[in-house]
Structure formats: C-alpha cells, structure tokens
C-alpha cells in the first residue's frame, strides 16, 4: 500500500461524505437516497473517465476497498451530521485536497493509456469534478461548477502544469506535489477573494 | 427459449409501458418523446450495468426481441392509455415482478463476470432501478427512489439473499424464486403499510 | 482529408457554438460552464453511440482536430455573441445540416460494426440528438426533442431511408446525399408549417 493509494481511499470516502451532505441539503432523501448520491459523487468522475477511455475494469469494481470507504463515509455523514455541517471550513480544505489529488491521478492514468496530453488534462479534470456534476443533476440543480468561483479551471491548470513538468522531465513525485499544490493554491485564493471566471456574455 | 427469457422480454415491454406513462404524467411529451422515455426506462438499468462492467455487446443491441417488446409496449401504452391509468394496482404488481426479476438476473450476470458479491448486489439493484432514475432525470424530477417507500433497498435485500443462498449451495432455480419472492414481499408490505426508510437527517 | 471529414469537423465546431449559446440562454454560466456545455453538446451524441456499441477509442479522444474545432467554436460563440443571436435563421440551417450529417455518419458507423439495421437507425438518431439531450439535462430543462416540431423523428426517417437504399444497392455517396436531404427537407417543412408530432395522449 503506497501513500498515494491510502490518500485515494481517503479521498473517495471524503467525497461520499460531501456527496451525502450536499444531497441532503437539496433533496431531503432517505438513508438509501443519501448513500446512493454519496456513492455516485465518489465514483462518478473516475468512472466516467474510464468509460470514455475504454479502460476496464473500473477501479471501484476491481477493488472493494473503495466501496468500504464509501460506506464508512456515508455512515459518518449521518451519525456526525450536526458536527459536520459546522465544519464547513475544514470541509473546504478536504475538498480542495481531494480534487487536487483526483485531478493529477486522473491525468496520469489517461496519459498512461496513450492519449494526447490535451485529452489527458480534460480527463484529469473530469475525474475531479464529474461526480459533483452527476450529483447536481440527480438533485435537480444546475451543476455548481458552471457558476462557482474558479473550480474546474483550477483542476485544468494543475493538470496542464503536470503535463508541462512531465514533458521537461521533472521527477514524478515532485511533479505530483507541485501540480496538486497549484490547484490547492488557486482554489484557496479564489475562495478567499471570491474570484469567479467572467460570465460568458455581458447581457 | 427458456421461461426466464420470456419473462425478461415481457419485463422489458412492461417497463416501457410504465416509462411512457410516467413520462406522460410529468412532461406531456409528443409520441416520440414518450416512446423515447419508455425505451430509456426499459434499457437504462441493464445498459448502465453492462457499461460499468464492460460487458459487451449490450443485450438489446445484440437481440432485437427486446426492441420489439419496447415498441409494442409503447404502442399499447398510448392506445390503452385510459384503461391503463385506471389499473394502477395491477401496475404495481407488474412493476414489483419486474424489479424482482431484473435484480436477480442482473446480480447473476455480474457474478458470472467474476466481480465481488458486494458489487454484484449493487449491479443487480442498478439493473432494476437505474432505468427509472434516468427517466426521472429526463423529466426533470428528483429520482423517486431517493424518497419512495422501500424500493431500491428491497432489490438490494433480494440480491443479498441470492448471494447468501448461492454461497451455501442452494439450487439455482429455487434460489432465483426465493430471492425474487423476498423482493416482492418486502415491496408489498412496504406499500401496504406505507413504510419508508428513515430520512437521512432529522432536521 | 475527405470532404466528409471536413464536414464532420465543421459540424462538431458548429454544435459547440449552438451548445454554448443554448446554455447561455438558460443557465447564465461563466466561461468555463459555457465551454463545458458546448463541448458536451458536440461530443455527447457520438460518445454515447460509441459507448453503447462498445466501439473504442471514441473519435474525439483519438483525433484532436475535434477538440480544436470545439475550442474555436466556443471562442467564436463568445466573441460574436450579439451577431450570432441575430442569425437564428442561419443557425437553423447549420443545425439542420449538422443533424442530417451526424445521423447518416452514425448510422453508417453502427452498421459497419455489424448491428441490426433497426439498432443502426437508433444509433444514427442518437448521434444527432443526444448531445442536445445531455445539454438540456445539464441546464435543468426537459429535453426539447421530447416536445419540439419533428426533429429526432426526421433523423430516424433519414436513417431508415439510408438503410433501405443501402439494402437495394444504392451507391454510397448518392445514398448519403439523398438520406441527408430527406432529413433536411422534413425539418424545413416542419419548421415552416410549425408541424409537431401528436401529443402522446389527448388529456
């Protein structure tokens, strides 16, 4: 078990917590509904990436540790619900670490399958954000990443940095850390200063 | 042609009827829209299962009998619309038989592809309920299984019973019947007594 | 580079323009959101077709020209926004050419993979319309093809003509043009005369 593997499992569990909590805000689901949405939020991005790339088997189907992490996440979300909603700031940090890690892991995976770097960057970003998009569609909301302070674009920026450093021969672990750090820094600045991308049109 | 095959074809046709009727309630579609939603409701769950498992070709692409069943279902739904909406109780029974059968067929298929039993149970449940989830998303509703009386959880319970009986060596046809029966009994009790899962949180 | 290839690239770029504009009407997204929705509108239909058929790699993952066309389309959509919304009539023509071409290309591709002609016709129609369905779901609308003047059914009619002419031995390029022309003619008549399919039920 590498450190990265442990982080991926933790990230998956965390995403299921945040998915269940977000679902609860919007749809007032029962236990099954919250667990289901937590599950989809966790595995949606990576699954979509792998389906688009034709890369089978999907990680969570192959390795049940991901399922255990999701179950534990959903149970924690319900049991500690009141505490967790008071910890929104801590959550922001977890989410930021999560999307940074999933972006780089996804970019690497796509690259290892031989796709063009531009496609690899998009797949890295998809890994991080598409679970949330599916969660928003299921709870009947317009996906928040279409409007929110710089989020998916931070992932894209990190993926592009990874590709550039990879191209010039940067050592892999250093590259992973630097690229993830860029995503984290952009997110923190964007949230602190309430930065958004410009609207598509001015009207 | 086995009895099971005939039941699967009938189940598919029935799901297209119920999909077209449900779509009509919500979106007032034209003929094409109702047929399209009936089609998606029928094949959505099994298709998603097979795509997640990487199991090709998809059943309805390989075997056109499923398409004929869907077409006939949609036509029946339109022609006998007034009669059918008065038969909601009969419908409930058909739906219950349908999800019971699709759950066990889906669980068996996933198991035969070598996945972990936990994943097989989830895939069985997906086979039965995801067509309806996609139908609800297309008609701009929060999926009813997130809130409804015990539905997807009944499927999960049946799938788990199948796996347990399979593990202890129960004969396959007996197992199929017993597991499907559990789903049917849970559903009937849940609807009769208006049982729901607890809400995810009390607030 | 064949003429068809150039038309496909142009069609993809055009679909991203129309996706970005449609998204802007409904969701007021930021730059990223509009680009993302333009991207999904362009590649959604073909990707879904290929995923259902298990035909890998997906075209846009294999060939980056499609990505360039999408990027250029989204940038044009933003820069020339005011001009483009005044050109709705021209747009209608582009859209009509686009769906005609995508339908026939999709039908041919499915047929070349050995599926039943009925499935090939559905896959051709999916290629043309499912990008728009996904766009509508993401912007929280009931897909317009469920209600709009004859649209998806025009695609189906063209696909069926293609299959019939193919069956009786019609030369491929002549068949392509004739079948695409049928779609275009049906669409123009439907819009001019405001023709819709009948509602599914009269109530």
**Cβ-based contacts of A20 with chain B (< 8 Å):** 200
Question: pLDDT exceeding 70 applies to what percent of chain B?
Answer: 96
Distance separating alpha carbons of residues A159 and A156, to the nearest angstrom: 5
Distance separating alpha carbons of residues C84 and C64, to the nearest angstrom: 26
- The ipTM of this complex is 0.90
Q: Are B70 and B34 in contact (CB under 8 A)?
A: no
With contact defined as 3+ CB pairs under 8 Å, the chains touching B are A, C
Question: pLDDT exceeding 90 applies to what percent of chain B?
Answer: 55
Q: b or e along C51-64 (b: 16 or more beta carbons within 10 Å of the residue's beta carbon)? A: bbbbbbbbbbbeee
Alpha-helix runs per DSSP H in chain B: 3-27, 31-53, 59-62, 65-79, 81-86, 88-112, 117-138, 152-167, 172-192
The dihedrals phi and psi of B178, each to the nearest 5 degrees, come to -65, -45
CA B192 to chain centre: 20
Query: For chain C, which residues make up each domain, given as ranges?
Result: 3-192
pLDDT above 90 (res A150): no
Average pLDDT (A150-158) is 92
Size of the B and C interface in Cβ pairs below 8 Å: 76
Average pLDDT (A60-84) is 88
Structure tokens at A187: 């997110």
C152 contacts B67? CB cut-off 8 A:
no
Residues 6 or more apart whose CB falls under 8 angstroms from that of B119 comprise A60, A61, A64, A67, B110
Distance separating alpha carbons of residues C61 and C96, to the nearest angstrom: 25
Name the least confident of A13-17, B82-86, C69-73, C76-80: B82-86
Question: Taking the model in full, what pTM does it have?
Answer: 0.93
Q: Which residues of B touch C (CB under 8 A)?
A: 20, 23-24, 27-34, 36-37, 47, 51, 56-58, 60-61, 64, 67, 78, 81, 137-140
pLDDT above 70 (res A1): no
Torsion from C-alpha of C132, C137, C138, C139, nearest 10 degrees: 90
The dihedrals phi and psi of B119, each to the nearest 5 degrees, come to -65, -40
Predicted confidence at residue A29, as pLDDT, reads: 81
**Nearest-10 crossing angle of helices C88-112, C172-192:** 140
**Cβ-based contacts of A197 with chain C (< 8 Å):** 30-32
Which residue, chain included where needed, has tokens 């649209």?
C151
Predicted confidence at residue C149, as pLDDT, reads: 67
Predicted confidence at residue C154, as pLDDT, reads: 93
Band (pLDDT 50/70/90 cuts) for residue B167 is very high
Nearest to B48 by CA among B118, B110, B140, B95: B110
Average pLDDT (A171-189) is 93
**Cβ-based contacts of B78 with chain C (< 8 Å):** 200-201
The residue ranking higher by pLDDT, A158 or C19, is A158
Distance separating alpha carbons of residues A123 and A125, to the nearest angstrom: 5
Distance from CA of B21 to the nearest CA of A (A): 21
Average pLDDT (A142-151) is 80
Distance from CA of B79 to the nearest CA of C (A): 9
| pLDDT tens digit sequence for B21-69 | 888 777 678 888 888 899 999 999 999 999 999 999 999 999 999 999 9
Torsion from C-alpha of A141, A146, A13, A178, nearest 10 degrees: -170
Average pLDDT (A114-126) is 96
* C-alpha distances in Å from residue A154, one per residue of A131, A161, A182, A183: 16, 11, 8, 5
**Cβ-based contacts of B160 with chain A (< 8 Å):** none
DSSP conformational letter for A57: S
B51 contacts C142? CB cut-off 8 A:
no
Average pLDDT (A92-107) is 89
C169: region left, alpha or beta (phi > 0 left; psi from -120 to 50 alpha): left
B118 contacts A36? CB cut-off 8 A:
no
C119 contacts B27? CB cut-off 8 A:
no
Query: Residue-wise pLDDT tens for chain C (203 aa)?
Result: 687 888 889 889 988 988 888 887 776 788 888 888 999 999 999 999 999 999 999 999 999 999 999 999 988 888 887 787 777 677 778 788 889 999 999 999 999 999 999 999 999 999 999 999 999 999 888 888 887 768 899 999 999 999 999 999 999 999 999 999 999 999 999 888 877 777 766 55
Q: Are A84 and B201 in contact (CB under 8 A)?
A: no
Structure tokens at C99: 């769906």
Predicted confidence at residue C1, as pLDDT, reads: 67
| pLDDT tens digit sequence for B140-155 | 888 888 877 688 999 9
Burial group, residue C23, by CB count within 10 angstroms (0-12, 13-18, 19+): buried
Predicted confidence at residue B194, as pLDDT, reads: 75
pLDDT above 70 (res B203): no
């Amino acid at each position: 078990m590498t450190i990265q593997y442990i982080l991926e499992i933790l990230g998956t569990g965390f995403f299921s917590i945040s998915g269940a909590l977000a679902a609860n805000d919007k749809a007032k689901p029962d236990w099954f509904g919250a667990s289901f949405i937590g599950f989809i939020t966790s595995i949606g991005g990576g699954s979509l990436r792998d389906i688009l790339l034709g890369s089978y088997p999907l990680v969570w189907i192959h390795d049940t540790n991901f399922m255990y992490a999701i179950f534990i996440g959903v149970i924690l979300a319900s049991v500690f619900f009141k505490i967790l909603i008071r910890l929104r700031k801590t959550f922001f940090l977890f989410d930021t670490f999560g999307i940074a890690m999933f972006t780089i892991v996804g970019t690497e995976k796509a690259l290892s399958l031989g796709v063009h770097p531009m496609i690899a960057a998009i797949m890295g970003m998809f890994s991080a954000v598409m679970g949330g998009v599916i969660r928003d569609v299921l709870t009947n909301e317009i996906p928040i990443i279409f409007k929110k302070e710089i989020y998916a674009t931070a992932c894209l920026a990190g993926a592009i940095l990874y590709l550039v450093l990879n191209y010039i021969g940067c050592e892999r672990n250093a590259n992973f850390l630097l690229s993830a750090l860029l995503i984290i820094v952009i997110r923190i600045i964007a949230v602190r200063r309430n930065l958004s991308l410009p609207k598509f049109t001015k009207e």
